[in-house]
Amino acid sequence: MLDLREDEVMAVNSVFELHPLLAQPGAIEKVLFVVKEMKPEILTVVEQESNHNGPVFLGQDKVMSEVYLGRQICNLVACEEVDRVEWHETLVQWRARLDSVGFGSVHQGFNACKQASMLLALFAGGDGYWVEEHDGCLMLGWHSRPLITTWA
Beta-sheet strands, E only, within 16-144: 42-48, 129-134, 137-142
| Distances, alpha carbon 12 to alpha carbons 8, 29, 45, 100, 125, in Å | 13, 16, 9, 18, 32
The residue that leads in pLDDT, 113 or 50, is 113
The residue that leads in pLDDT, 67 or 20, is 20
Distance (Å, whole) CA 43 – CA 54: 28
Q: What is the pLDDT of residues 121-141, one digit of tens each?
A: 888 766 788 888 887 888 888
Sequence-separated (6 or more) residues with CB below 8 Å from residue 97: 28, 29, 32, 89
pTM as predicted = 0.68
**Sorting pLDDT into bands at 50, 70 and 90, what band is 41?**
very high
Please give the pLDDT value at position 144.
86
**Sorting pLDDT into bands at 50, 70 and 90, what band is 56?**
low
